[in-house]
Amino acid sequence: MHTPRIYVDADLAPNTTVTIEGGKHHHLRNVLRLKAADAVILFNGQGGEYGAEVQAITKQATQITTLTYDPINRESPLHICLLQGILKRDAMINALQRATELGVSKIIPIQTQHLSEKRVQLAGRWEAWQAVIEQSSEQCGRTQLPELAPLTRYTEAVSMAQNADFDLRLLAHLGAPESRTPPATTPKRIAVAIGPEGGFSDAEVTLAEANGFRAYTLGARILRAETAPAALLAHLQTRFGEFSEAKQ
């Protein structure tokens, strides 16, 4: 039987009781229909997870008490920072879900020239994106949450990536050389920039290359904007990360 995993933004230790309210409580009470004494798993993104038990569920809140701590680590050894062009609402949700499942360490939502959403419509979306990341982490078993950075202008994001200690910087761009030549040393920290539905403009590609990014493609076919993160992240995990034969 599946044991629900629940992310809580709180300090945890064995024999700690936490109170869950709001939408998450509604899901536990009315969707999962949990009852007192049901087993759950709590985690707070600081590593490991806790076996726990529901103490009580009222109309207003769910109370859960931790029992045992498991130091398990399900995080990828490969640090990937995803600079994700902001997509339309459902596509962005799909991209964030797949990126979380594929072990990305940090996500920077970037405002690009070909922005599909009106800038005034972006207000309040950060909280919704954070909720998607939490829910995806609960589902896939992650013990740490990807860091979600504030909305960032494209120019600022590529500049920050250039100044950070990344071993490899890639810009998803159709028509770029498809290189399978491995780097001289296996990268441990990678920055990946993926554009919105309209892709990156020529000026944005030029700027990225001037800041240490290499234009990169997986093939000749055009991927949907929400498919590209999953494809490229899985590719990188296979070449350099937890899916690599060297990690088996």
- 121 and 26 part of one domain: no
Radius of gyration of the chain (CA): 20
- 60 and 95 part of one domain: no
Residue 217: CATH number of its domain: 3.40.1280.10
- 28 and 86 part of one domain: no
- 51 and 102 part of one domain: no
Query: Of the candidates 45, 70, 95, which is a domain's last residue?
Result: 70
- 47 and 89 part of one domain: no
- 44 and 155 part of one domain: no
pLDDT tens track for 122-160: 778 999 999 999 999 999 999 999 999 999 999 999 999
CB atoms within 10 A of CB 103: 24
pLDDT tens track for 175-199: 666 555 566 678 999 999 999 988 8
- 88 and 60 part of one domain: no
- 60 and 124 part of one domain: no
pTM above 0.95, yes or no: no
pLDDT for 102 equals 97
- 32 and 104 part of one domain: no
Q: Check: CB of residue 204 under 8 Å from CB of residue 182.
A: no
Residue 36: CATH number of its domain: 2.40.240.20
- 28 and 46 part of one domain: yes
Q: How many domains does one find in the chain?
A: 2
Rounded Cα–Cα distance for residues 63 and 196 (Å): 41
Provide the residue range defining the domain that includes 21.
Answer: 5-70
Ranges of beta strands (E only) in 1-128 are 5-7, 17-20, 39-43, 49-57, 62-70, 79-85, 106-111
